[in-house]
């Protein structure tokens, strides 16, 4: 949200939009993908919203084509929606995963939510038209405010709760920003197994990409400001570790490794839907009968490993999922943090065609309903196309490329053209924090420990340190 303060407020300021990404500093069109500046951190604002998607309710491989899957509309609203639902984490090679951890706020770090009212309408095919509406609102405690003070763009956390103190603060007024629209076109992913992919990654057809936010020529006048629609009601309490993996000791706590090899060892296979999820073998490439810890290995270009929680789905507590698949819960909640230590070595492979991509590693997040039904295959058998959510965290878009881009797919969508350098020679540590309706990606110092908990200040430092754009920090407002 954008806020307008009167001259009587604590800061005499007028609201302006901060610079959106760093593309005004230079950009290049490389094979249909736009790249701007190398950065160490990226913040997406305005992530969540109000809308609906088609939730799969039945899959029948024996039914007539076109009627093998049924669904119903599911509405959502709130911070990070629909990515506040359970999510799964996906890793495509060549990639070495050294450590992985998931954190969520402890019960002492309570949150109060203010639901936003922006709406996005789904258009036909892969094209998505956006319509956003922002309601009038005063900034809540913990909200981010971006304003120009004496000609300088500044961003700060609102520390005024609105309550009177011994020195009363003058009241503020809010201004409704006019609706804006952007257009995002989903990529045509490599057809994998049986039909096209939904939430899968297999290379971009540059002739099909027309996203105004990530694939059209960047505009130097494009602007944005951080927006948040929830506030933390407590500055105490830490974030507890819910899952952890360490390759050096083959430690796995609170998580399982899966892949798309159903029908071998576990899961199922049929000629209608193809392979379901299966427990992964220790090298990531085969199906296992039971949960197996991933070795300290390199996942190859044609490998995809999926991490979910170690809690199995029971009854209808995961919603509908494909019969006989390996079904586990994902990682739930409107506030969650994922920590990674990984390397993406150059494999030196050469692709026979764009439909056989190699040396294009990626780390991405899906609404967990997608792999539990059909990640690759018929569109009506997945909620992906109708907008249940995907976020590409580190994705290489061309064979051998050394730039990792990020993109949000869904009913609110867009991608930052600034990028993080691919860690080819040695591992890096990084964090992705979903909180306060923002997604924060940050490369961390090597000394950061993925301990059993993260204190509140550590998480806030990760988020707060990348709320102001700089030469190494890119801000991307999805409502801009």
Mean pLDDT calculated for residue range 381-397: 98
Task: Output the pLDDT for position 173.
Answer: 32
Neighbours of 336 (CB within 10 A): 22
d(CA 409, CA 384): 9
User: Considering the domain boundaries, does residue 1 fall inside one?
Assistant: no
Mean pLDDT calculated for residue range 346-375: 93
The DSSP call for residue 168 is P
Domain containing 440: what range? Answer: 18-477
User: Considering the domain boundaries, does residue 9 fall inside one?
Assistant: no
User: Considering the domain boundaries, does residue 180 fall inside one?
Assistant: yes
pLDDT band with cut points at 50, 70 and 90 for residue 237? confident
d(CA 140, CA 143): 5
Say if residue 446 is exposed, middle or buried (CB neighbours under 10 Å; 0-12, 13-18, 19+): exposed
User: Considering the domain boundaries, does residue 13 fall inside one?
Assistant: no
Residues found in the chain: 480
* Both tokens assigned to 217: 């020529």
Task: Output the pLDDT for position 298.
Answer: 99
Neighbours of 152 (CB within 10 A): 7
d(CA 433, CA 446): 18
Domain count, the chain: 1
pLDDT above 80 (res 398): yes
**280 contacts 261 by C-beta, under 8 angstroms:** yes
d(CA 36, CA 353): 26
Q: How far is Cα of residue 474 from the mean position of the Cα atoms in its chain?
A: 16
Percentage of the chain beyond pLDDT 70 is 69
b (16+ CB within 10 A) / e for 56-69: beebeeeeeeeebb
Highest mean pLDDT out of 154-158, 235-239, 257-261: 257-261
pLDDT in tens, 290-338: 999 999 999 999 999 999 999 999 999 999 999 999 999 999 999 999 9
pLDDT above 80 (res 366): yes
Q: Where are the alpha helices (DSSP H) in 338-438?
A: 369-373
Nearest by Cα to 26 from 17, 35, 18: 35
299 vs 235, higher pLDDT? 299
pLDDT in tens, 399-446: 999 999 999 999 999 999 999 999 999 999 999 999 999 999 999 999
Mean pLDDT for the chain overall: 78
User: Considering the domain boundaries, does residue 2 fall inside one?
Assistant: no
Task: Output the pLDDT for position 452.
Answer: 97
User: Considering the domain boundaries, does residue 3 fall inside one?
Assistant: no
d(CA 477, CA 213): 10
Q: Tell me the sheet residues that pair with 438.
A: 45, 435
User: Considering the domain boundaries, does residue 432 fall inside one?
Assistant: yes
pLDDT above 80 (res 126): no
**316 contacts 324 by C-beta, under 8 angstroms:** no
Mean pLDDT calculated for residue range 209-231: 38
Task: Output the pLDDT for position 197.
Answer: 57
């Amino acid at each position: 949200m954008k806020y307008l303060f009167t001259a009587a407020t604590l800061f005499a300021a007028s609201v302006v939009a901060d610079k959106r990404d760093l593309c005004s500093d230079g950009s290049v069109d490389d094979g249909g993908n736009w790249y701007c500046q190398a950065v160490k951190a990226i913040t997406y604002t305005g992530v969540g919203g109000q809308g609906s998607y088609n939730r799969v309710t039945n899959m029948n491989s024996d039914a007539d084509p076109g009627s093998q899957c049924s669904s119903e509309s599911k509405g959502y609203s709130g911070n990070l929606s629909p990515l506040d639902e359970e999510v799964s984490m996906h890793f495509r090679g060549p990639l070495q995963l050294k450590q992985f951890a998931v954190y969520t706020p402890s019960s002492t770090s309570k949150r109060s939510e203010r639901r936003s009212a922006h709406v996005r309408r789904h258009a036909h095919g892969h094209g998505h038209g956006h319509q956003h509406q922002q309601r009038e609102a005063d900034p809540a405690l913990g909200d981010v405010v971006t304003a120009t003070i004496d000609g300088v763009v500044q961003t700060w956390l609102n520390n005024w709760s609105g309550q009177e103190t011994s020195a009363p603060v003058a009241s503020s007024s809010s201004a409704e920003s006019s609706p804006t629209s952007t257009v995002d076109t989903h990529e045509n992913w490599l057809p994998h197994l049986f039909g096209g992919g939904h939430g899968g990654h297999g290379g971009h057809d540059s002739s099909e990409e027309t996203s105004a936010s990530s694939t059209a020529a960047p505009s130097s006048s494009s602007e944005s400001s951080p927006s948040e629609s929830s506030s933390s009601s407590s500055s105490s309490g830490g974030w507890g570790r819910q899952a952890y993996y360490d390759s050096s000791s083959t430690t796995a706590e609170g998580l399982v490794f899966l892949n798309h090899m159903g029908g071998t060892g576990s899961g199922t296979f049929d000629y209608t839907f193809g392979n379901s999820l299966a427990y992964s073998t220790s090298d990531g490439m085969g199906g296992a009968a039971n949960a197996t810890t991933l070795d300290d290995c390199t996942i190859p270009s044609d490998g995809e490993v999926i991490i979910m929680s170690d809690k199995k789905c029971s009854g209808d507590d995961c919603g509908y999922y494909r019969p006989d698949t390996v079904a586990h819960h994902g990682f739930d909640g409107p506030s969650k943090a994922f920590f990674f230590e990984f390397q993406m070595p150059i494999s030196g492979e050469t692709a026979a065609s764009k439909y056989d991509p190699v040396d294009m590693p990626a780390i991405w997040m899906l609404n967990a309903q997608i792999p539990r039904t059909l990640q690759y295959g018929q569109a009506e058998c997945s909620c992906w196309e109708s907008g249940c959510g995907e976020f590409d965290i580190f994705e290489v878009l061309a064979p051998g490329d050394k730039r990792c881009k990020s993109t949000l797919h869904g009913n609110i969508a867009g991608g930052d053209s600034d990028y993080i350098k691919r860690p080819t020679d040695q591992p890096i540590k990084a964090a992705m924090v979903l909180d306060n309706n923002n997604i924060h990606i940050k490369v961390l110092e090597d000394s950061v420990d993925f301990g059993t908990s993260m204190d509140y200040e550590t998480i806030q430092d990760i988020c707060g340190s990348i709320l102001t754009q700089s030469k190494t920090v890119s801000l991307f407002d999805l409502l801009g």
